[in-house]
Amino acid sequence: MSLLPASILHLFHRFRYALHGRRAGLGRPVPAAALDQEYISGAWDHFFAPGELARHEALVGMIREACSRPRLLDLGCGSGRLASLLDPAALESYLGVDLSAEGLRRAAALKLPHGRFERHDFEIWTPPAGAYDVITFNECLGYAADPLRTARRFASALAPGGTLLVSHFRFMDHVKFWHRLERSFSFPVQRVVTNAAGQTWDLRQLALR
């Protein structure tokens, strides 16, 4: 495990990602093997650290506000931090999806009493239409080659009246990321979360125009 503080690892990862080609709200997909190595190196351990708690709690709150007992799809579930904060009694069902086999192995090791975890590449995987009441992009939509197209595709997997939620770290071209999504979506609910280290996240509900 790395000896660097989690906050430094987090920023290093974001900077490296920026150098690999983010532009005008377009991400650059990261290979599964690279994600696995980052989990093994400890680069993602900060998800369970205090600095990420407020963001995850805010996302849990937005899920509850959207639906009292949702069928929830958690995209970018990683090692299961969001799932670990959810009340099983407040869920109809839960599916966590991630590209990293190592992240999913760690999520499964939590032995949570609700839901399940599956490995999929959300760039090519689409769940059945109308299958979910709430879908969250948990710090992952920015990695999509075309975040707008990906968000629109998953909006079709929502049940009538369903809710699409996005958590996105403020770094580099985050403003362009949101501007790109505005081509098809409005943001009826917005939250801003800043931790003690000054890191800031935007959490927004996406509604198709």
Residue-range domains of the chain with CATH: 6-208 (3.40.50.150)
- Could you report the per-residue pLDDT of 104-124, keeping only the tens digit for each? 999 999 999 988 999 999 999
CA dihedral 19, 56, 196, 181 (to 10 degrees): 40
Query: Considering the entire predicted model, what is its pTM?
Result: 0.88
Amino acid 138 reads N
| CA diameter of the chain | 47
Query: Count H helices, E strands: the chain?
Result: 7, 8
pLDDT-wise least confident of 19-23, 82-86, 131-135, 198-202 = 19-23
Q: How confident is the model at residue 172 (pLDDT cuts 50, 70, 90)?
A: confident
Q: 118: buried, middle or exposed (CB in 10 Å: 19+, 13-18, 0-12)? A: exposed
Compute the distance between CA of residue 69 and CA of residue 46 in angstroms, rounded to an integer.
28
pLDDT higher than threshold 70 for residue 149: yes
Between 201 and 27, name the one with better pLDDT: 201
Compute the distance between CA of residue 79 and CA of residue 117 in angstroms, rounded to an integer.
10
| Whole-number Cα distances in Å, 12 to 15, 18, 140 | 5, 10, 17
Q: How confident is the model at residue 8 (pLDDT cuts 50, 70, 90)?
A: low
Q: What pLDDT, on the 0 to 100 scale, is given for residue 115? A: 85
